Structure 1
Amino acid sequence: IEDHQFSFEGPLGKYDQMQLQRGLKVYTEVCAACHGLRYVPLRTLSDPGGPGYTEDEVRAYAAENFSVYDPELEDDRDAKPSDHFPTVTGDGMGPDLSLMAKARAGFHGPYGTGINQLVKGIGGAEYIRAYLLGFTGEEAEVAGQFLYENTAFSTGWVQMPPQLEDDLIEYDDGTPATAEQMADDVSAFLMWAAEPKMMARKQVGAVAVLLLVLLSSLLYLTNKKLWYPIKHGGKQARL
């Protein structure tokens, strides 16, 4: 797993709205069949700092792509913005991806300490990107199951087959849909899904730092003013 520059990294970084929209498209067309986002409300797609869709666009997206079971109707209905992304369960289905980027940022390497995120800048988005691009094309059959070689893991083999290939989807904004581009976009989207308030936290953090600098300056000047007569008087007394 290697470091990769994402727009949201660093104290001044922020999510790229167009990248989040492309990442949502990759998730919807490639990942959603096997991986859910059950902790992400559909309405957050229109929140500030996110993909930036309008409420009408979110409503249309939800109804077009997902259905949920309604206990009152005792039947499935089209999803609404008030619903969450559906949970995907069943044999052969993968883990929920709602918090994957945040979880991997905290627990991967070395030895599960998460130090790489601080020292090398490698976080959850880098892990997801490395995983999606780490397939070598080698396959092996073990105990009746097919495994696929992936360089993102020390063991080298995973059960999920490679998912991305060039021109697998078509982006609405005309961006070439290379495997690397799709991996970048869906990694950024999953980072937003796990940390939708990251930008707000950074803004609060910047204000807090400025207040601490101001407070430290005032304390220093106050301390200097209070102790100057005593120190000055002491020097005069010794003379």
Structure 2
Amino acid sequence: MVRIIAFLVGLFLSGWLIVSAGFTTYEMITDPAKPTVEKLFHKHPKPVSFAQDGPFGEFDKAQLQRGLKVFQEVCAACHGLKQVAFRDFAALGYSEDEIKAIAKGWPLEVPSINPETGEPATRKALPSDKLPYPFANEVAGRAANNNAYPPDLSLIVKAREGGAPYIYSLLTGYQQPSAELLKQFPEAKPGTGLHHNPYFHSLNIAMAPPLTGDGQVTFDDGTPSTVPQMAKDVSAFLTWAAEPKLEARKQAGWAALLFLLIFTGLAYLSYRTIWAEKKKH
């Protein structure tokens, strides 16, 4: 009797699930969900290539140095790189004296303690210091940026889908909302303190356009500092900040692949040698 009741209960539940799935499928077909403004007007990253792309790609040190300068003069006012120390810039081709000069001339000083009074203070950065965050904490960061918290950019390239092309697209994608967008979705008009950017997931972003025009930064190597150039250089620099060992990992990968190929060849030859005589019988 118990088995019969259990069978009937199971049959009822299975039937209920089938009927529910049928009704749900019918409603999805006859009354599909309306597309959202993000689905219709959000854009994928622009097709842009970098020197470090691909299995053989390597960082362009000149580009990384230009990207550092863009970060120093534009991005550092709101963002930090807490995973990067000034001495890490040696990988970009800077000498020890140049690194000391960069640290000393950084636009933000490092939090410290006054040894005479014991009170909080600031000091010039040293090569061993991490790049400082411009705000004391998240509350201060939000207070200074219309309640939007400027994130640390150490891992931003890995944290955002699209990587460096997304950063490049975001920096060069500020524009006025199209007439078609406002006609279909008038509520999508940027509010106070927001800026339209179709490459941002919600289309409106609190960060004002950081790259406002050509010549905003003067590159030491004479490269014209157009907005696309500055955006590409700082995107490459942020890629290095997120993956400073990228080139070493690629080299290790090729070495491992070569080892596996050689090992496979030796294993096959050993197999042929060991079983050659036995296969004759």
Does the pair score TM above 0.5? yes
Q: Matched residue of 2:88: which SS?
A: helix
Q: 41, 50, 59: which one pairs with 1:6?
A: 50
Question: Alpha-carbon deviations, 1:57-88, whole Å to 9, x = none?
Answer: 00011011131122353421110000000013
Confirm whether residue 175 of structure 1 aligns to residue 223 of structure 2: yes
Q: 141, 145, 155: which one pairs with 2:202?
A: 155
CA–CA distance in structure 1, aligned partners of residues 245 and 219 of structure 2:
26
Segments of 4+ in structure 1 off by > 3 A? 137-141
Q: 43, 47, 57: which one pairs with 2:98?
A: 57
Percent identity over paired residues = 45
Aligned residue type for 1:59: K
Which has the higher Rg, Structure 1 or Structure 2? 2
Q: Is the 8 A contact 2:84 2:241 kept in 1?
A: yes
Confirm whether residue 211 of structure 1 aligns to residue 267 of structure 2: no
Equivalent positions of 1:24-39 (< 5 A) are: 24-39=68-83
Corresponding residue number in structure 1 for 2:129: 83
CA–CA distance in structure 1, aligned partners of residues 264 and 129 of structure 2:
47
CA–CA distance in structure 2, aligned partners of residues 19 and 151 of structure 1:
27
Q: Calculate the aligned-residue CA RMSD, in Å.
A: 1.6
Aligned residue type for 2:85: P
Corresponding residue number in structure 2 for 1:112: none
Q: Is the 8 A contact 2:190 2:196 kept in 1?
A: no
Question: Alpha-carbon deviations, 1:190-235, whole Å to 9, x = none?
Answer: 00011111111111111111111100000011111112212222xx
Structure 1: give runs of 5+ residues left out of the alignment: 109-122, 234-239
Normalized against structure 1, the TM-score is what?
0.83
Normalized against structure 2, the TM-score is what?
0.71
CA–CA distance in structure 2, aligned partners of residues 72 and 124 of structure 1:
41
CA–CA distance in structure 1, aligned partners of residues 208 and 247 of structure 2:
34
CA 1:154/1:37 → structure 2, altered by over 3 Å: closer, same or farther? closer
CA 1:42/1:147 → structure 2, altered by over 3 Å: closer, same or farther? same
Structure 2: give runs of 5+ residues left out of the alignment: 1-44, 136-140, 178-187
Shifted more, 71-80 versus 12-21: the winner is 71-80
Count, aligned residues: 211
Question: Alpha-carbon deviations, 1:15-39, whole Å to 9, x = none?
Answer: 0000000000000111000011111
